[in-house]
């Protein structure tokens, strides 16, 4: 074993990249759950975003258009979930699970004919001045733009929930939808907005895999990332700051275990492969003191 062959700067840099898809999907789901809706279809929306983004990027030649397409695709699929649960009052857990299965099937259908094609390249940004700082530069300031878009979304959600009036309303709807309704807030409208935002973020996360991380389209390529995003939201006790920590921890241990394997670490591969899940759950459980939004997963009907 030769641990000196692991370059800590590159390790930390790839941590940010590895964490981005999960972070994007998780922050969307966080908003959805803060509005009191439990959408278990994150995986389905992610993979639909991955294929929509890939198809749009290949046909337009622009990765940016691909990301826009992915967000729209994810949001459309999410609005289906919203319509079923908010207007037809279907069970959120069952509908979310169905959404995952539907998304997986739909994505392989759309992706027929796009297997084995290369995506247009999406170059890294080398931010002037900041990117030249030794150590910190290569770790933080030399990534592709989506890494920063993801961070901006997390920051935006945090500020929105904490400081804005709209954020307060969204939280009120999530905590007690009957009280929010009595105060005259449009519960269903707020929730539909949150659900579509969640779908768009999941779509972006999926497209980050198919356009930047791999970059290729393959059936089932999200390989469970959506479920990890869901878990991170819960373990982060619905707080954006902790969510960021959880996503980076997961991404970090994922990259670290591959590095240890390549360095010839004498630990069985199977243990290394499970380590990201164990580490993330452990740390977030130890920290966790949060409480779920009061109306999470409950069906709202104005007459009740």
Partner 1 sequence: MIKSLVTGATLALGMATAAFADGHEKTKVGFVYVGPIGDGGWTYEHDKGRLAVEEAFGDAVETVYVESVPEGPDAERVMTQMALEGADLIFTTSFGYMDQTINVASKFPDVKFEHATGYKTADNVSVYSARFYEGRAVQGHIAGQMTESNIVGYIASFPIPEVIRGINSAYLHAKEVNPDIEFKIVWAYTWFDPAKEAEAANVLIEQGADIILQHTDSTAPQAAAQAAGNVVTFGQASDMAEFGPFPRVSSIIDDWAPYYIARTQAVMDGTWETSNTWDGIGPGMVKIGEITDAVPAEVKASAEAMIEALRTGEYHAFTGPINKQDGSAWLAEGEVADDGTLAGMNFYVEGLTGEIPQ
Q: Which residues bind partner 1 (CB under 8 A)?
A: 5-7, 10-11, 14, 18, 115-116, 118, 121, 209, 213-216, 218-219, 221, 223, 254-255, 258-259, 261-264, 266, 268-270, 273
Least distance to partner 1, CB of residue 133, Å: 20
Do 45 and 78 form a contact (C-beta atoms < 8 A)?
yes
Do 42 and 230 form a contact (C-beta atoms < 8 A)?
yes
82 versus 103: smaller Cβ distance to partner 1: 103
251 versus 293: smaller Cβ distance to partner 1: 251
22 versus 75: smaller Cβ distance to partner 1: 22
Residue 7's H or E segment, with its range, is none
Q: Could you tell me where the DSSP H helices lie in 3-91?
A: 8-34, 42-60, 63-82
Distance CA 8, CA 10 (A): 6
Least distance to partner 1, CB of residue 132, Å: 20
Give the C-alpha distances (Å, rounded to integers) separating 240 from 65, 200, 244. 27, 17, 6
For 181, other C-beta atoms within 10 Å of its C-beta total 18
Least distance to partner 1, CB of residue 117, Å: 8
Least distance to partner 1, CB of residue 91, Å: 30
Phi, then psi, of 133 in degrees rounded to 5: -65, 130
Do 40 and 96 form a contact (C-beta atoms < 8 A)?
yes
Least distance to partner 1, CB of residue 259, Å: 6
> Which residue, among 290, 280, 285, 292, has the nearest Cα to 228 in the 3D structure?
280
Least distance to partner 1, CB of residue 273, Å: 8
6 versus 65: smaller Cβ distance to partner 1: 6
Quickly list DSSP for 191-231. Answer: HHHHHHHHHHHHHHHHHHIIIIIS-S--TTTTTTHHHHHHH
Give the C-alpha distances (Å, rounded to integers) separating 43 from 2, 103, 112, 208. 37, 8, 19, 14
184 versus 268: smaller Cβ distance to partner 1: 268
39 versus 259: smaller Cβ distance to partner 1: 259
Least distance to partner 1, CB of residue 269, Å: 5
Q: Is 97 exposed, middle or buried (0-12, 13-18, 19+ CB in 10 A)?
A: middle
111 versus 240: smaller Cβ distance to partner 1: 111
72 versus 212: smaller Cβ distance to partner 1: 212
Least distance to partner 1, CB of residue 262, Å: 5
39 versus 254: smaller Cβ distance to partner 1: 254
> Which residue, among 118, 70, 89, has the nearest Cα to 214 in the 3D structure?
118
Distance CA 275, CA 63 (A): 33
Least distance to partner 1, CB of residue 58, Å: 14
């Amino acid at each position: 074993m030769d641990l000196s062959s692991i370059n800590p700067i590159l390790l930390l840099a790839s941590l940010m990249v590895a964490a981005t898809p999960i972070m994007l999907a998780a922050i969307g789901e966080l908003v959805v759950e803060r509005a009191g809706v439990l959408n278990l279809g994150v995986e389905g929306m992610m993979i639909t975003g991955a294929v929509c983004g890939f198809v749009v990027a290949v046909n337009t030649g622009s990765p940016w258009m691909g990301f826009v397409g992915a967000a729209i695709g994810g949001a459309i699929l999410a609005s289906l979930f919203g319509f079923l649960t908010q207007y037809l009052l279907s069970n959120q857990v069952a509908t979310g699970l169905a959404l995952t299965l539907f998304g997986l099937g739909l994505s392989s259908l759309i992706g027929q004919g796009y297997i084995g094609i290369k995506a247009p390249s999406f170059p890294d940004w080398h931010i002037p001045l900041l990117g030249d700082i030794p150590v910190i530069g290569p770790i933080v300031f030399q990534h592709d733009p989506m890494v920063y878009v993801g961070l901006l979304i997390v920051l935006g959600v945090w500020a929105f929930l904490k400081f804005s009036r709209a954020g307060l309303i969204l939280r009120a709807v999530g905590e007690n939808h009957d009280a929010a309704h009595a105060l005259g807030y449009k519960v269903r409208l707020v929730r539909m907005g949150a659900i579509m935002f969640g779908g768009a973020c999941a779509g972006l996360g999926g497209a980050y895999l198919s356009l930047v991380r791999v970059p290729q389209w393959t059936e089932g390529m999200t390989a469970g990332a959506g479920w990890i995003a869901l878990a991170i939201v819960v373990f982060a006790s619905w707080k954006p700051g902790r969510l960021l920590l959880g996503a980076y921890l997961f991404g970090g241990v994922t990259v670290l275990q591959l590095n240890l394997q390549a360095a010839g670490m004498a630990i069985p591969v199977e243990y290394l492969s499970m380590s990201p899940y164990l580490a993330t759950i452990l740390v977030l459980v130890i920290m966790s003191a949060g409480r779920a939004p009061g109306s999470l997963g409950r069906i709202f009907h104005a007459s009740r």
